Amino acid sequence: MTQRDNEPAPDHGPDPVEFGRNMVRVAAQSQKVLSEFLEQQRENQSPVQDPLNLGSAFNELLRYWASDPMKVIDAQYELWKAQANLFHTTWRRFLGEDVDPVIAPARGDKRFRDPQWAENAVFDFIKQSYLLTAQWMQDTAAEVEDLDEDTRRKVNFYTKQLADAISPTNFVLTNPEVLRATYESSGENLVKGLENLLRDMERGGGTLSISQTDMSKFAVGENIAVSPGKVVFRNELIELLQFDPRTEEVYERPLLIFPPWINKFYILDLRQDNSFIKWAAEQGYTVFVVSWVNPDVGLARKSFEDYMREGIIGALDAVEEAAGVSEINTIGYCIGGTLLSAALAYLAQTGDSRIKSATFFAAQADFSEAGDLQVFIDDRQLEALEKQIEAAGGVLEGSKMATTFNMLRANDLIWSFVINNYMLGKDPFPFDLLYWNADTTRMPRATHLFYLREFYRENKFSKGEMELGGVALDPSKVTIPVYLQSSKDDHIAPYKSVYKTTKLFGGPIKFMMAGSGHIAGVINHPDANKYQYWTNDELPDDVEDWIAGAAEHPGSWWPDWHKWLSKKSGKKVPARKPGGGGLKVLGDAPGEYVQEKS
């Protein structure tokens, strides 16, 4: 019998010789990975045991279950009953019946997009069995009584982390996409994946540093952070960038932006088609941006007050000299906004009235509902963190904070890359946002621990109990106009937490909520025509009441902000060029500090 013309050749499966050769390579690479891991663990012993303080939290959980074993039995029975129902439904499907799923992935869950998870009855059973188990794990943990709030929050968070980790998508033999790739490539994907794993372990110097993007495809100042401008001021903590005007006239009041020092400023200038800096200049603002130093051990003693004096006040002084005016509008993003909040209270109480408005991007000032990040801020964890920082010479490596943020969205920012890089053996896709996310910065011991203890742990600023520079800070003394931006799906600065600021300051406040999350909710150029935002002129006590009365608008919120700020920016004056005022040009944007790698 011969093959007919145009008839596809039969699939004989993987080449057995090539498959065997690749499995030998997999075994050799696996041994190398294990040896490398053990060696790095010997060289990188942690100065503390259980740095996340998980032991005490789960001991409380076990103590509760031990005190009432019937609840454990009841919970196990509920899981058994759900799994038995799934088995019965799956058996009916094998017999040819059309049956509805017992449980389906949550909307937005991208793990089970491969068609085989629905079309193949075996993989569908594995998927639903996992979903039932994960739901049972989280519900059982959430229903535990008599736990203090910190312990409950920690148990719920790490139970979800465990549930995410044991997903069948994360294992070769239960992931149809990985099995298909292994079959089609004769196992070459597993060899390449182990090579990627070993490379990331070596790059992490003792911990796994997952590659989220192709870092070789980007260069700061060449294809990202390319808006033209100059460095016009520099001290130990900041470079001040003044960007070229894009209009013949500009508003009299310049715009001074304080990004977070946890990351680098160019999130506001990734590409020209989504650059907030470029867009703001096109609206007629003289744009100044603080570029924070990436501190080394020589700056380990820099305090939160130093960041206020050398960062906020130092930049104000420089902008006043460069622009020739003393009335300035400001923006604070994330932790840069938290610092700006404290500085505004300090300035108000010391008679400095140069700041005439403040905009906050995804920034918190009241941390009573600060979300899942509070899981990492109990006293024992802070003590452990302090020891780790001291062992590292007085600075916290930015990769540590990046890992924490990634855990808030583990399926998207951890496990999806484990599957892509190590199981499918693919190289990560070049993505500028993830390049920025991986371009981390260090944090000085005193500054970081003050932030975590005084704001996150004790919430002293909102209580009027914080002191900086010998001044007791009273947020109600801040009476300038304030624009509060939040995002609906922000896991780092939840909208409920951001809304708390509406009750802190003493002046007129506008609160709005954007679609998407901590980054995409902020960086949303109007030309992209993506997402939406909500506004409501009323400020009821409860944010859910605000949402109920809010109006939804399509697209970007940037024009709404511009409409608000333009009325507070003074008359139009001839455009200012960097170096044309009282400060000399020190170099081209994006400057030197942003180039420093951790």
Hunting for tokens 């622009």 — which residue is that?
323
- The catalytic residue among 210, 256, 293, 334 is 334
- By CB atoms closer than 10 A (0-12, 13-18, 19+), residue 245 is buried
Cα distances (angstroms) measured from residue 325 to each of 99, 230, 241, 253, 570: 71, 19, 17, 7, 11
Q: Is the pLDDT of residue 299 over 80?
A: yes
Token digits of residue 565: 């700020």
The rounded mean pLDDT for the chain is 90
Taking the CB of residue 322, how many other CB atoms lie within 10 A of it? 24
Instruction: Output phi, psi for 256, to 5 deg.
Output: -115, 125
Please, are residues 442 and 396 in contact by the beta-carbon 8 Å criterion? yes
Q: According to the model, what pLDDT value does residue 43 have?
A: 58
Q: Is the pLDDT of residue 22 over 80?
A: no
Q: Is the pLDDT of residue 4 over 50?
A: no
Please, are residues 169 and 417 in contact by the beta-carbon 8 Å criterion? no
pLDDT band at 7 (very low <50, low <70, confident <90, very high): very low
pLDDT one-digit tens code per residue, 513-556: 999 999 999 999 999 999 999 999 999 999 999 999 999 999 99
- The residue ranking higher by pLDDT, 463 or 202, is 463
Q: Is the pLDDT of residue 21 over 80?
A: no
Q: According to the model, what pLDDT value does residue 417 have?
A: 93
- By CB atoms closer than 10 A (0-12, 13-18, 19+), residue 222 is exposed
Q: Is the pLDDT of residue 5 over 50?
A: no
pLDDT one-digit tens code per residue, 563-582: 999 999 999 999 999 999 99
Q: Is there a catalytic annotation at residue 334?
A: yes
Q: Where are the domains of the chain?
A: 48-186, 229-397+440-595
Please, are residues 220 and 595 in contact by the beta-carbon 8 Å criterion? yes
Please, are residues 183 and 14 in contact by the beta-carbon 8 Å criterion? yes
Q: Is the pLDDT of residue 207 over 70?
A: yes
pLDDT one-digit tens code per residue, 242-295: 999 999 999 999 999 999 999 999 999 999 999 999 999 999 999 999 999 999
Which CATH number describes the domain made up of 229-397+440-595?
3.40.50.1820
- The residue ranking higher by pLDDT, 350 or 72, is 350
pLDDT band at 427 (very low <50, low <70, confident <90, very high): very high
Write out 48-64 in H/E/C secondary structure. CCCCCCHHHHHHHHHHH
Once rounded to an integer, what is the mean pLDDT over residues 183-197? 90
Q: Is the pLDDT of residue 128 over 50?
A: yes
Sign of CA dihedral 524, 526, 527, 532: positive
Residues with Cβ within 8 Å of residue 519, at least 6 apart in sequence = 267, 433
Alpha helices in 95-115 (DSSP H): none
pLDDT one-digit tens code per residue, 489-508: 999 999 999 999 999 999 99
Please, are residues 335 and 398 in contact by the beta-carbon 8 Å criterion? no
Q: How far apart are CA 419 and CA 193, in angstroms?
A: 9
pLDDT one-digit tens code per residue, 32-83: 666 666 666 565 555 555 566 666 666 766 776 777 788 778 888 898 999 9
Alpha helices in 296-428 (DSSP H): 304-306, 314-323, 335-349, 379-391, 398-407, 410, 416-417
* Residue 301 identity (one-letter amino acid): R
